[in-house]
Amino acid sequence: MVPNGRLPGAPGTGAIIAPIVSTVAERTRVLTGFRPTGPLHVGHWAGNVGNAVRLQNEGYECFYFVADWHMLTTHYDRVDELPAFVEGLVLDLLAAGIDPERSVLYRQSQLPQVAELALLLGMITPLGWLERVPTYKERLRDMAERDVANFGLLGYPLLQTVDIVIVHGEVVPVGEDQVSHLELSREIVRRFNRLYGEVLVEPQPLLSETPLIPGSDGRKMSKSLDNTIELSADPDTIRARVRSFVTDPKKIRRGDPGRPEICPIFALHGTFSPDDVARVEATCRTGELGCVDCKSLLADHLIERFEGFRERRAELGRTPGLAKDVLAAGIERVRPIATQTLEAVRAAMRFEG
């Protein structure tokens, strides 16, 4: 590595050159998973989908997968929907820009090595670590009307850890709510490596620049809260969805001053209207901008931003068997890596021969 990226012996002014050992040259390994619980929405895009596409395009070695076992943690009673959700998710990811040649795109349940490694790592994962993960308590609370207090839900971040370490994922693009999961992953890895030897790699979360995207009710945008705007929504649906958003309750009519910092529409402008956000903020505060116009402006931006997505998604839906074929090719590429990791773990834990 050249110190400071400067070529030794270069003239005093020293042209800055790219460091010889760049992370991209080493092909840092990126991994993230998507639960097949319904169509991708703008919260996914701002969370990890946008970053997943960007990292692929920047030349990282990317592994992306459909986390269908994770779907069972909350939707075990809705497996009839699973096949359509899996297919829809794969097509959504392709339409969003995931290229199955450059990235390995596969389905978790087709990699049974994950299940064996989850069993083994479960033996060294203290219950207390799992119980204190905030998303566990949140899910129990948000889904109080459904019976989700199962072992699987508690083990969610352990299974997620296995997804990552089985391919030695180093960088994991996630939304902010997943940071505690990654922290747990790192603790499990450290515990494993201390007990049995340095086999597993500690992953790092990669947060998107956008904070959590709120949905129409002001809570986190999420399919289960029915407050989303789907990436494939047609323009009329996008307009209707945006109109249904709550705004500052004290701003009742145009002329009333608004508080952008508490308004979900403003949060979306921050992500999707970069050129207008300063003007929106100023004119909302003075009251000059009314919520109706403010929403209409956001809808225009969303419609334009996802027009390409909509077209590609419709096109991809016309090729029968596409999602299955992509997943079949992806599993072949990830299987040897997962097998090798599992063999190293078995050996380290003395399950040889």
Binding site for ligand TRP (CB under 6 A): 31-33, 35, 67, 70, 160, 163-164, 172, 174, 178
Comparison of 182 and 284: residue with beta carbon closer to ligand TRP: 182
Residue nearest to ligand TRP (CB): 33
Cβ at position 250, least distance to ligand TRP in Å: 34
Comparison of 180 and 340: residue with beta carbon closer to ligand TRP: 180
Q: Residue holding tokens 């390409």?
A: 308
> How far is it, in rounded angstroms, from Cα 66 to Cα 102?
17
Cβ at position 114, least distance to ligand TRP in Å: 10
Comparison of 70 and 310: residue with beta carbon closer to ligand TRP: 70
Q: Residue holding tokens 């990226």?
A: 5
Comparison of 133 and 297: residue with beta carbon closer to ligand TRP: 133
Cβ at position 328, least distance to ligand TRP in Å: 21
Do residues 91 and 316 lie in contact, with contact meaning Cβ atoms separated by under 8 Å? yes
Q: How far is CA 300 from the centre of its chain?
A: 25
Cβ at position 271, least distance to ligand TRP in Å: 18
> How far is it, in rounded angstroms, from Cα 59 to Cα 111?
25
Q: Using DSSP, state whether 66 is helix, strand or coil.
A: strand
Strand pairing of 104-107 and 171-174? unpaired
Cβ at position 34, least distance to ligand TRP in Å: 6
Comparison of 33 and 258: residue with beta carbon closer to ligand TRP: 33
Question: In degrees, to the nearest 5, what angle opens at C-alpha 27 toward C-alphas 22 and 28?
Answer: 90
Cβ at position 278, least distance to ligand TRP in Å: 31
Comparison of 113 and 247: residue with beta carbon closer to ligand TRP: 113
Q: What is the 3-state secondary structure (H, E, C) of 127-158?
A: HHHHHCCHHHHHHHHHCCCCCCCCHHHHCHHH
Cβ at position 198, least distance to ligand TRP in Å: 21
> How far is it, in rounded angstroms, from Cα 337 to Cα 166?
8
* Closest to 48 (Cα-Cα) out of 290, 229, 212, 231: 212
Comparison of 92 and 163: residue with beta carbon closer to ligand TRP: 163
> How far is it, in rounded angstroms, from Cα 50 to Cα 41?
11
Do residues 59 and 24 lie in contact, with contact meaning Cβ atoms separated by under 8 Å? yes
Cβ at position 160, least distance to ligand TRP in Å: 4
As to burial, measured by CB atoms within 10 angstroms (0-12 exposed, 13-18 middle, 19+ buried), residue 178 is buried
Comparison of 62 and 298: residue with beta carbon closer to ligand TRP: 62
